[in-house]
Amino acid sequence: MLAGQHHIRLSGVTEAGATLKGTIRPMTRFAGVRSIAQGFTQGIARGLVVPLLLAGAAAPAPALAQSADLVLCDRIAADPADPDKPSGVRGVADIAPADIETAIRYCRTAAGSSRRALYALGRAYAANGQSADAIAAFRKAADKGSSSAMVELGVAYATGAGVAKDDGRARQLFERAADAGNPRGVSNLAALGGGTTSDPGKTRALLAKGAETNAEAQYQLGMMLAEGVGGPKDDVAARTLFEKASAQGHAGALERMGAFAQAGRGGPQDTAAAKGFYEKAAALGNSDAAAALKRADCPFVIKDKQGKLVSNLCF
């Protein structure tokens, strides 16, 4: 499922034929909406990124050696999950409305010599509702190697938000981000539909890197483990991953925890706990969890002569 609308939901089928549900997650927010697909479609949810430096990228210089423009750009517009961000920079999840114009001014000046400033400029444009400028900045930052910008641009192509919809181009961008160590690139790649379908084992390995902290990566890897895609089936490990993602409020993982607890899969059977997971997932808009709750309350079904469900019988 591409995340969204919180979320735009997609289903993809791996080469082995197993369906993966996921959420394509950008990080930036457009003014009044949620990001460059979270922006245009009101629908792409934020994901966390493990702070890994891009392969081959130079370590960030100390703040004192940076330009004043870059320091100010970092302070008010840096993405806290951007792998390019120096460890000493805290970053902001959303650029404050009062800081948007200042962020554009300083990030635009710093962008000439810093790809992270160029990415931050895209965030500032997005926050200001300048969608075309945001996409242009993300494109330039991606060309310079920013994996966060690759994710944002990939989401735009995946959803047709501000650009012509192009799943092939989106997949290329997510693959580049994933190869650079960006977990959102990995999880979005799987959510787009099959991930690296030619090698599900590679997808599984990449997801494992992101699953240390990223809820979407935990959920996607859990799905692969539960279905034996890209490697051995492991219900215990899958349940552990779903539990970790559930603790971060991931609706799909909460629904899976409900199903696993209800069936005693990968751990003890616990009907009461299953209901609790389903209720939390349903409250977040998960239709599968809502259906599971209805089945639990109304276990008997009435079908017509063709065997089609007419209604549930409740007591």
Same CATH topology for 9-220 and 234-315: the answer is yes
Binned at pLDDT 50, 70 and 90, residue 62 comes out as very low
Domain regions of the chain by residue span: 9-220, 234-315
Instruction: Evaluate if residue 13 carries a pLDDT over 70.
Output: no
CA distance 41 to 36: 8
Contact predicate 177/150, CB 8 Å: yes
Instruction: Evaluate if residue 135 carries a pLDDT over 90.
Output: yes
According to the model, what pLDDT value does residue 241 have?
Answer: 97
Tokens describing residue 118: 């160029």
Tokens describing residue 206: 């990449």
Binned at pLDDT 50, 70 and 90, residue 278 comes out as very high
According to the model, what pLDDT value does residue 24 have?
Answer: 59
pTM: 0.58
Spatial neighbors of 194 by CB under 8 A, at least 6 apart, are: 12, 13, 14, 15, 20
According to the model, what pLDDT value does residue 14 have?
Answer: 27
According to the model, what pLDDT value does residue 309 have?
Answer: 63
For domain 9-220, give the CATH number.
1.25.40.10
Indicate the average pLDDT of the chain: 78
According to the model, what pLDDT value does residue 27 have?
Answer: 56
Give, in words, the CATH class of 234-315: mainly alpha
- Strongest mean pLDDT among 17-31, 212-226, 268-282: 268-282
Q: How many CB atoms are located within 10 Å of the residue 14 CB? A: 22
Task: Dump pLDDT digits (tens) for 202-254.
Answer: 878 888 877 887 788 899 899 999 999 889 999 999 999 999 999 999 999 99
pLDDT, greater one: 46 or 204:
204
According to the model, what pLDDT value does residue 205 have?
Answer: 85
